[in-house]
Amino acid sequence: MTSKTKTIHGHQIFKEDNAELAYISPETQIVDGSPARNCEFPSIVHLQVYNAPTDDMVGMCGENDIAILTLDRPVREGGCVKFAQLARKGETFGTRRCMAAGWGDFKFNGNSPNELYKVALPAIPHNVCKRNSRMRIADGILCAGDFRQGGASTCQGDSGGPLYCPSSNGQMVLAGVTSFGNNCDKEISAFSDVGYFRDWIESNL
């Protein structure tokens, strides 16, 4: 969550008029894996998409793979919800150790976990990533991981999840939103760069 009523998302949300939003009843509990928490979550009532995808090479993902979902009522920070501090406009992270989290597969076309997992990934400077990646790296992409096949990475099912990186003062901030990769662990993981989109995010919060 980025505020009491807003959350940032991306990947497979293309346009307001054809997006599919799932509703989970407040009585629903997910009890597999991690200890269950009895939490009530509001519904999503509005979707604001930055732009339609523009990058054919990465298929469903685009250069502007980011959206903001608005909830029908405010939520309070507590055991079930934490508010994320956003990366500053234009903030970069050098090669600092970041952390991605998600429910994605352990490997390409592999099994998925029963509980939330996290993985440490070093940030990669944009010019280095653009020069060395086999994928098309647009200006709004933040790269993390490494170029070795078999290294740590995000995978299918992690899309839309967070990448937290340490700011210059050591505070962990939401630096990216999981977007795409190359069959999971063939090379780096790509994230929508929160600092790059900060002006647009602020105008819609």
pLDDT surpassing 80 at residue 51? no
pLDDT surpassing 60 at residue 33? no
Segment 129-175, tens digit of pLDDT: 999 999 999 999 999 999 988 889 999 999 889 999 999 999 999 99
Which comes out higher in pLDDT, residue 186 or 17? 186
pLDDT surpassing 60 at residue 46? no
Domain assignments of the chain as residue spans, ordered by start: 97-196
Give me the mean pLDDT over the 56-72 stretch.
Answer: 66
> Confidence band (pLDDT; 50, 70, 90) for 48?
low
CA-derived radius of gyration, the chain? 16
Alpha-carbon torsion, ordered 120, 124, 126, 130, to 10 deg: -100
- Any idea which of 15-29, 84-98, 167-181 has the lowest mean pLDDT? 15-29
pLDDT surpassing 50 at residue 56? no
Tokens found for residue 8: 């940032």
pLDDT surpassing 70 at residue 184? yes
Would you state the pLDDT for residue 175?
A: 97
Tokens found for residue 58: 């990465």
- Quick one: fold of 97-196? Thrombin, subunit H (2.40.10)
Please state, in angstroms and rounded to a whole number, the distance separating the CA atoms of residues 167 and 83: 16
Tell me if the pTM is above 0.75: yes
Would you state the pLDDT for residue 50?
A: 54
